[in-house]
Amino acid sequence: MEEGRKITYSPAYTLVPTYECFNCCGYCNFREDPGVGDWLSLREAEGILRSLQNSGVVEILILSGEVHPQSSRRGAWFERIYQLCELALSLGYLPHTNVGPLSRWEMARLREVNVSMGLMVEQVTPRLLETVHRLAPSKRPEVRLQQLIWAGELRIPFTTGLLLGIGEQEEDWADSLRAIASIHEQYQHIQEVILQPHSQGATQSYEGEAREEGQLLRAVALAREILPPEITLQIPPNLVGDGAMLRACLAAGARDLGGIGPKDEVNPDYPHVQVAALQEAIAPDGWQLVPRLPVYPQYLGWLSEPLQGLVKPSPPLNPNHHHE
């Protein structure tokens, strides 16, 4: 049988250390006010992770609301995240952490317990600081770009991306993409760029404008033009619309569908389409959906020895096994 052209995804489950966040992005359907909810305990997390064993899940996405860098609770927040990563590793999963901007020291520590990390640029235009990011100091473009630079210096395989349709102009996209490309040019560490269409949810304050079909396709095509070919373009299949739009995005250059699991924590009003249905949707164009790890193969050599051992467990020594 002829093999199809390949589209990748990562079988993933999302753990949320806390929904509390000191930022208040106008488009967010995730955050809670600080001090309201409980944090995820290690005991709860262990229960969840054990229940996922043998389910095919490999990636644990650690996605969090943020405690202010100067808060007296920042240290406890960070240690919880670190321990959740350690726990996931100890149960055979591979963590990918996106918990907002980190200090350089925090980033260096999380590198020990993550196979890759991520942070969206969103958009680099400072005009958004007067609108959707007015109450979100973590979204200052210079803060986000500094994170990309530190990740490069620390040799962390990194995921970033653009949030589309939050009040920016289409002309702003190229600036955001060129900023990513130029940092990548120096460090070669950006494994993928997500093009994330803003999707109206039930609890956000910002009222997005109606999205037009061509927008996402123009963004994918522009990203493919500006970014070097080694950076994979990711689109979230639950946010693109229908199967025809998904196929059009692939035709425009997208090659990955991101983490797929039971719930999209960021966009709870848009459940993930399950893998069999996605495979069916893209099959007419000859695409074959295949699982991948949260770290892209070209970066395996960047991982610490212990992490490399977990990613590629060496085959057990079997005295009965004979090489052909």
Ligand X SMILES: O=c1nc2n(C[C@H](O)[C@H](O)[C@H](O)CO)c3cc(O)ccc3cc-2c(=O)[nH]1
Ligand Y SMILES: C[C@H]1O[C@@H](n2cnc3c(N)ncnc32)[C@H](O)[C@@H]1O
Q: Enumerate binding residues for ligand SF4 (CB under 6 A).
A: 21, 23-25, 28, 30-31, 65-66, 100, 136, 138
Site string for ligand X, 34-63 (x = CB under 6 A): -------------------------x-x--
Q: Which of ligand Y, ligand X, ligand SF4, none does residue 125 bind (CB under 5 to 8 Å by kind)?
A: none
- What is the contact surface with ligand MET in residues (CB under 6 A)? 21, 28, 30, 63, 65-66, 98, 100, 119-120, 266
Residues that contact ligand Y, how many (by CB under 6 A)? 14
Is residue 24 marked as binding? no
**What string marks each residue from 154 to 193 as x (binds ligand Y by CB under 6 A) or -?**
---------x------------------------------
**Contact status: 31 vs ligand Y (CB under 6 A):** no
Least spacing, CB of residue 291 vs ligand Y, in Å:
22
Cα 72 from Cα 49, distance rounded (Å)? 29
The distance of closest approach from Cβ of residue 322 to ligand X in the complex, given in angstroms and rounded to an integer, is 37
Torsion angle, alpha carbons of 246, 144, 21, 31, to 10: -10
Among 107-115, 197-205, 252-260, 313-321, the segment contacting ligand Y (CB under 6 A):
197-205
3-state secondary structure of 39: coil
For residues 66 and 256, which CB has a smaller minimum distance to ligand SF4 in the complex?
66
- Minimum CB distance to ligand MET smaller for 123 or for 281: 123
For ligand X, the closer CB: 73 or 265 = 265
65 binds, among ligand SF4, ligand Y, ligand X, none (CB under 5 to 8 A by kind): ligand SF4
Residue 97: which region, alpha, beta or left (left: phi > 0; alpha: psi -120 to 50)? beta
* Structure token digits, residue 140: 């200052």
Q: Nearest-CA neighbor of 169 among 133, 215, 214?
A: 215
28 or 273, CB closer to ligand Y?
28
Is residue 28 within the footprint of ligand Y (CB under 6 A)? yes
Task: Tell me which of ligand SF4, ligand Y, ligand MET, none is bound by residue 24, counting a contact when its beta carbon lies within the kind-specific cut-off of 5 to 8 angstroms.
Answer: ligand SF4
> Two tokens at 41?
């305990």
Q: Please, are residues 98 and 61 in contact by the beta-carbon 8 Å criterion?
A: yes
Q: List the beta bridge partners of residue 98.
A: 63
Q: Is 7 helix (H, G, I), strand (E, B) or coil?
A: strand
Binding of ligand Y by 15 (CB under 6 A): no
Instruction: Identify which of residues 273 and 281 has a Cβ nearer to ligand X in the complex.
Output: 273
Q: Please give the full DSSP string across 203-235, using - where no structure is assigned.
A: S-S--PPPPPHHHHHHHHHHHHHHS-TTSEEE-
* Alpha-helix residue ranges (DSSP H) falling in the chain: 42-51, 74-90, 104-111, 141-153, 170-187, 213-226, 243-251, 275-282, 305-311
Of 98 and 191, CB closest to ligand Y: 98
Quick one: what does residue 100 bind among ligand MET, ligand X, ligand Y, none, with the CB cut-off 5 to 8 Å set by partner type? ligand MET
CB-count exposure of residue 211 (10 Å: 0-12, 13-18, 19+):
middle
Residues in Cβ contact with 144 at an 8 Å cutoff, skipping those fewer than 6 apart: 101, 119, 120, 121, 122, 124
Q: Which residues pair with 176 in a beta bridge?
A: none
Strand partners, 7: 289
Binding residues for [4Fe-4S] cluster: 21, 25, 28
Binding residues for ligand X (CB under 6 A)? 10, 12, 59, 61, 96, 98, 116, 118, 120, 159, 192, 194, 234, 236, 258-259, 264, 266-267, 294
